Structures are given as structure tokens and as C-alpha cells.
A and B are shown apart, each in its own frame.
Chain A
Amino acid sequence: MVNSPIVELQDVNKTFGTGRQAYRALDRCSLTIEKGEFVCLLGPSGCGKSTLLNIVAGFERPTSGTVQFEGMPIVGPSPRRVVCFQDSMQAIFPWKTVRNNINYALSVRRVARGERAEIIERCLASTGLSNHADKYPTELSGGMRQRLQISRALAVNPETLLMDEPFGALDAMTRTQMQNELLRVWEATSKSILFITHDIDESLLLADRICVMNKGPDSRIIESIKLTRSRPRELYDRELSEIGHHIKDLLGQHDGAGRLGDGK
């Protein structure tokens, strides 16, 4: 994949607070995402993954360093970079139906009323929600709410999806299903994806490239691992399990579990 970079972070520092309470979450963190690339940001809890994503989203400004998107400095949130959050009930509008959640996004984007119905149907179909268009979020399962969030993000046709542990709160079976759905959507739309997870297996199944971060404070990307295995992938694959072991070595924990704890 020889493409142009979409997201470029150069020597990003992020310090919260000042003086004695100062906490340096990110220390000279650099990251480049190519167009159409699926990048997983992997690290233990509290390693600054979400801080990094919030900076790319434009919710937070770096203390120093440069952050660019499509060659322009990131100064705030933009519909070119839509975030999918872990807590779906907070991210969507619980008082709007599935259809109206997506319609909200379209009305914000000033899409003409006449064109909306068709876009909504397309977004619902691509995430398998067509039969649930008139339900309220409380009537949906956690997995379906995440589909809605992805669906709403797709409605504004972003260049990049920023996903902050979107499947972290789902049960194992639903998570596997959602991972496959996401890959399908990604392959169909060729969006760039920055996907945060603390689940090594999840990153092995999804990513073109895994960026491993060390535990905070002073987090940065300590290694960037390219994955060439074609999808759908099998975790018991020798190449992938070797990479998995390597990542566990990197993070200094080898308890046999696929998930990273809080890094203790």
C-alpha cells in the first residue's frame, strides 16, 4: 500500500495539569496513518491511547508537537474524522430512534431532506440495522447500538474513523461478530481507521499495523508492527501468535492471557 499519509503526528507531548500535579501522558509520540490503512493502537489501560485519539479527533490540543490531518493542522473536531466511542448509550441520542439518530447527523451536515432517506437506508443496510430503523436505543442490544454508532458515522462520509475501544463493553461472541462486520465495512468503504484496544487478539485480527504503546506516564509508540496476513485471520496462525508473543514481551507481561491488564 503506497499511499499518502492522512494522519501525521510528530513528537507530540501532552501534559495534564501544571507544577507538581503535572502528568505527562504522552512523550514525543509520533504516528503516521496512510490513506485506507487500518491501524490498531495497542497498550495497557492508562497508557494514553485515548489521549492520543482525542488529539487526532481535535477534542484536545497537544502541549507541543505537530498534528496534521490531510496535510492541514488539526484545530478542532471535524466530520472528516468521526469518533466511535465505547459507551454507545452516551454517544448516541437515547431519545431518538435509530433512523433519527442518523438523520441528526445528516441535518447537521445540511444534507437536503429529499436525499436523506436514501442515505439512511444505505447506512442502515451496511450495518445490518434495516429492520430496526424505528426502534429506540433502549430497545437495542449493546452490539446493535455500536452498529448504530458506526452507521451514524458513515452517514457523514468521513475520511477516517477513530474508534475508542468500541467493542470493549461487548460480550466475546458479539465482539467477534462486530470485528468481522467492521472489516467488511472497512473493505467496502476504504476508510482509514485508527482503532484503540487493549486486547492483543483483537489487534491481531483487525490491523494492517499494530502500534504498541508503553504504560504511562511518558507514553509513546514503542514499536510499530506491520501485519501482512490476509483476512479473515485465524488467531492460531503461527505468524500471528509469534507476533502476539512478541507484543507480550514488549509490554513485559506474559501471563498467557490475550488481554492486557492494567499493566501491573
Chain B
Amino acid sequence: MIRKAPSHASERRVLGILSAAVDGILWLPRPVLTVLSFVLFIILWWLGTAIFPNSGFIPTPGEVGFRAVNMFSRHDLVDGIGASMLRVLVGLVLGTVSGVIIGLLMGRSRLVSALIDPVFQLLRNLSPTAMIPIALVWFGIGESSKYFLIFWGTFFIVAVNTTAGTQATPQTRIRAAQCLGATQTRIFFTVVLPSALPYIIAGVRLGVASAFMTIIPAELLAAQEGLGALLQQASLNGQIDRMFVVLIIIAVLGFSTDRLVQYLAENVLRRYTSYQSEQ
């Protein structure tokens, strides 16, 4: 009994220090926590490769870093990133613009909605990956098949969100504009469209995610350049470190693009999005 008391006390002290440490870490600024998260991940990764050396399946962080520098110093990686990003951009713009137009029409016109929606609901089940074979037949292995596939992956998402946004426009706001004497056309552009913007932006963000999910399989199957093509070449050559570099790049690019869209939405279009939380 006499000996146990101090051990309890020391246990409690250890627990106290641990919980203080947890509290301390949570108090760190957000960017520091982000870096910490990556550092932890790399340490775990490195430990894994240290415990199972030369397995051949997982390169060490050092090998991947070295390979990344090596690939960046030659042109293939930069060119690959450029090719993939251009395809994403073109497809995204095509899909977003047409998605917004069709979405607005469907949201505002019962006739358009009745005629388009059933087919729409059916077609949107076809993932971009499912469309790769037909895209190759229709557009060949050139750029247009990639544009088409990205378009396919973003169009439906943006259109569905835009329709939802249009229909979520408060009736009161439309009526208020009617009272002042605004015409239907004017209400469409000055009331419905701005009210739908938060939904459209949400749709574009989902579209960006979809575009990055689509571009790699599209390039894996048929492309001379681009990140998917690099991945495929590395796989054929059994260069696992190169594959790791490409995978990391894809993840970082997707993340950055999403953040860019979010940043634009929160700053350039802040007036149209920021009142939401206060309603």
C-alpha cells in the first residue's frame, strides 16, 4: 500500500503531462499543425521502409525526393503537369459553362426540365471512366477525347447544382423585385443568378475533384504525355519511385486547384457567398 501510492501519483503525473501535451499541440496554429501532420506521415513512411528494407514495393522518402528533383530537372515532369492541367482546365471550363447554362434553364423552365431531366438522370450514372472507350472511338487518342471526358465528369455535377441553386432562390426575393417593377429577364440575371451562385460554386468545386479523378485514367489508357502517361510508363518500367512522385503530384495538384477555387469564391465572389451563414 505504502509503495503503491507514489506509483499512482507518478502515473497521474505522466497522464497529466500527456494531456497537457495534447492540449499544447491543439493550441498550435493551423499551418504548424498541417506541417506536423506531414512530418508524422513521412516519419511513419520512413519507419515502414526501415522495418521492411528492400521489399521493392515501397521506396524510401529519400529515394522519392531524389527522384522528384531528378524528374523536375529534366522536362518530362513539368511537361506532363502542363499537359494534364491544360486538359483539366479546358474540360472544366467547357463543363462548367454548359452545366451552368443547362442548369439555369432547367431550374427556371418547367418545360426544359421535363424534357431534359429524365435522360439527364440516366446519363449521369455513366462515369467518365465508363466513357473512355467510346471517347477514343469518337475523338481518337488526341486532346479532344480528354476534353470530352473531363467535360463529361463536370457537366452533370455543375448542372445539377445550378438547378438546385436556381430553385432555392427565395420566392420572397423574386417577389420583392417584381413589386419594384423588374421584368422576368431582369429578375433572372439580377436575382436568380446571384442567389444561385453559392450552389454553382459548390458544383464547380465538385467538378474540379471529378476532373482530377478523370484525367488520370483517361491518360493511362491513351496519351503520349501527361501525368497519367508518366504513371503508365513508370509502371511498365517497374520504376516505383517514379510512380510515387507522380501520385504525390496528382494529389497536390488536385488539392491546390480546389483551394484556388475556394479562395476565389471566398474573395472575389465573397458578397454572393458570405451572407449564407448569417441567414
Residues of A within 8 A of B (CB): 57, 59, 76-79, 81-83, 85, 87, 89-96, 104-105, 108-109, 136-138, 149, 152-153, 156
**Residues on A with beta carbons closer than 8 Å to the beta carbon of B170:** 87, 90
Asked if B175 and A83 sit within 8 Å, CB to CB, the answer is yes
Asked if A94 and B275 sit within 8 Å, CB to CB, the answer is yes
Q: Which 7 pairs show the lowest CB-CB distances between chains A and B? A: A94-B275, A90-B170, A77-B178, A95-B271, A90-B172, A79-B181, A91-B176
Given the interface pairs A79-B180, A109-B181, A156-B180, the reply to whether A91 lies near B172 with Cβ below 8 Å is yes
Asked if B275 and A108 sit within 8 Å, CB to CB, the answer is no
Binary contact readout B13-25 vs A (1 if CB under 8 angstroms, 0 otherwise): 0000000000000
Asked if A79 and B179 sit within 8 Å, CB to CB, the answer is yes
Asked if B194 and A104 sit within 8 Å, CB to CB, the answer is no
Shortest Cβ gap from B19 to chain A (Å): 39
Residues of B within 8 A of A (CB): 170, 172-173, 175-182, 186, 190-191, 194, 271-272, 274-275, 278-279
Q: Within the assembled complex, what's the spacing in Å between the Cα atoms of A87 and B174?
A: 13
Q: Within the assembled complex, what's the spacing in Å between the Cα atoms of A90 and B168?
A: 11
Given the interface pairs A59-B175, A83-B175, A95-B194, the reply to whether A89 lies near B275 with Cβ below 8 Å is yes
Asked if A108 and B172 sit within 8 Å, CB to CB, the answer is no
Shortest Cβ gap from B169 to chain A (Å): 9
Q: Considering only CB atoms, which chain A residue lies closest to B183 in the complex?
A: A108
Shortest Cβ gap from A55 to chain B (Å): 13
Asked if B278 and A138 sit within 8 Å, CB to CB, the answer is yes
**Residues on A with beta carbons closer than 8 Å to the beta carbon of B275:** 89, 94-95, 136-138
Given the interface pairs A83-B175, A87-B172, the reply to whether A93 lies near B180 with Cβ below 8 Å is no
Given the interface pairs A95-B194, A108-B180, A156-B180, the reply to whether A85 lies near B274 with Cβ below 8 Å is no
15 more contacts with CB within 8 A, not counting A89-B278, A90-B279, are A59-B178, A77-B178, A78-B179, A79-B181, A82-B179, A87-B170, A89-B279, A95-B194, A95-B275, A108-B186, A109-B180, A136-B271, A136-B275, A149-B176, A156-B180
Q: Considering only CB atoms, which chain B residue lies closest to A149 in the complex?
A: B176
Q: Within the assembled complex, what's the spacing in Å between the Cα atoms of A82 and B181?
A: 9
**Residues on A with beta carbons closer than 8 Å to the beta carbon of B176:** 83, 85, 90-92, 149
**Residues on A with beta carbons closer than 8 Å to the beta carbon of B274:** 138
**Residues on A with beta carbons closer than 8 Å to the beta carbon of B175:** 57, 59, 77, 83, 85
Q: Within the assembled complex, what's the spacing in Å between the Cα atoms of A95 and B271?
A: 5
Q: Within the assembled complex, what's the spacing in Å between the Cα atoms of A149 and B271?
A: 19
Asked if A108 and B271 sit within 8 Å, CB to CB, the answer is no
Asked if B173 and A108 sit within 8 Å, CB to CB, the answer is no
Q: Within the assembled complex, what's the spacing in Å between the Cα atoms of A152 and B173?
A: 13
Q: Within the assembled complex, what's the spacing in Å between the Cα atoms of A213 and B191?
A: 34
Q: Within the assembled complex, what's the spacing in Å between the Cα atoms of A79 and B179?
A: 5
Asked if A83 and B181 sit within 8 Å, CB to CB, the answer is no
Q: Considering only CB atoms, which chain B residue lies closest to A54 in the complex?
A: B175
Shortest Cβ gap from B253 to chain A (Å): 32
**Residues on B with beta carbons closer than 8 Å to the beta carbon of A156:** 180-181
**Residues on A with beta carbons closer than 8 Å to the beta carbon of B172:** 85, 87, 90-91
A85, A149, A152, A156 pick with most chain B CB within 10 angstroms: A85
Given the interface pairs A89-B278, A90-B173, A138-B278, the reply to whether A57 lies near B181 with Cβ below 8 Å is no
The 8 Å CB contact of A77, one of B179, B191, B279, is B179
Given the interface pairs A95-B272, A138-B274, the reply to whether A82 lies near B173 with Cβ below 8 Å is no
B177, B181, B271 pick with most chain A CB within 10 angstroms: B181
Q: Considering only CB atoms, which chain A residue lies closest to B169 in the complex?
A: A90
Q: Within the assembled complex, what's the spacing in Å between the Cα atoms of A57 and B194?
A: 25
Asked if A81 and B271 sit within 8 Å, CB to CB, the answer is no
Asked if B278 and A83 sit within 8 Å, CB to CB, the answer is no
Q: Within the assembled complex, what's the spacing in Å between the Cα atoms of A57 and B173?
A: 14
Q: List 27 A-B contacts (CB under 8 A).
A: A57-B179, A76-B178, A77-B175, A77-B179, A78-B181, A79-B180, A82-B179, A83-B175, A83-B176, A83-B179, A87-B170, A87-B172, A89-B275, A89-B278, A90-B170, A91-B173, A91-B176, A93-B191, A95-B194, A95-B275, A108-B186, A136-B271, A137-B275, A138-B274, A138-B275, A149-B176, A156-B180
